[in-house]
Amino acid sequence: MRTILETITQEIKTVLANVNETEAIELSELLIQAKNIFVFGEGRSGLMGKAFAMRLMHGGFSVYVVGETTTPSIQKDDLLVVISGSGSSVMITSLIETVKKKEAVLALVTTNREEEVIKDCQSVLHVPAATKYRRSIEPDTIQPLGNQFDQSVHLLLDSIIIYTLEKASDSMSFEEMKNKHTNME
């Protein structure tokens, strides 16, 4: 067990060490500039997206998860953050068309710089992690499926939130954030 834990920890450390800092800062700047933030991901990427959205909400951002019943329509100057290991799906293609029509901003968090959707993104945050596709450019991992990508995205997006809160002019205090945490659990 100890060996597995240490191997996974080292894998994630290596992935995060190879993230382009400029791309991470660019996403942070888009978060600060956005009127509203929308987050989308499918499957486990969607779970990472929900965690990201919750933390943004705690930080005082106006944020919604695509597909939830209370999510409003995206508009000009809003930001859609798509989390997708592959960077491609029918749903992503559809969302991109809506974002373009509404003149909103699109950011993609992905392992794949080769997808066609990249050209429509104002920001791409490349996460050099393994996915369930095990493409030749992906690193080796002892983990199944897209675990390495999911774990790396979770920590990377948490880091971006911390950075963003430090840079935002109207950053919330710990007590303010704590007060935004649900009290119905």
- Residue for token digits 């897209």? 146
C-alpha to C-alpha distances, 62 to 3, 59, 79, 94, nearest whole angstrom: 42, 9, 10, 23
169, with CB counted inside 10 A (0-12, 13-18, 19+), is: exposed
Amino acid 14: pLDDT: 96
Amino acid 175: pLDDT: 81
CA 94 to chain centre: 18
Amino acid 44: pLDDT: 93
Sign of the Cα torsion 73, 76, 79, 84 reads positive
Amino acid 100: pLDDT: 92
As a whole number of angstroms, the distance between CA 63 and CA 54 comes to 8
As a whole number of angstroms, the distance between CA 31 and CA 114 comes to 24
Amino acid 137: pLDDT: 83
Amino acid 18: pLDDT: 97
| Strands laid side by side in the 123-126 sheet | 63-65, 37-41, 79-83, 105-110, 123-126
pLDDT in tens, the chain (185 residues): 999 999 999 999 999 999 999 999 999 999 999 999 999 999 999 999 999 999 999 999 999 999 999 999 999 999 999 999 887 778 888 898 999 999 999 999 999 887 777 788 999 999 999 988 888 888 899 999 999 999 999 999 999 999 999 988 677 777 887 787 887 87
* Beta-carbon contacts of residue 153 (< 8 Å; ≥ 6 apart): 45, 48, 83, 109, 127, 129
Helix, strand and coil percent figures for the chain, each rounded to 5:
50, 10, 40
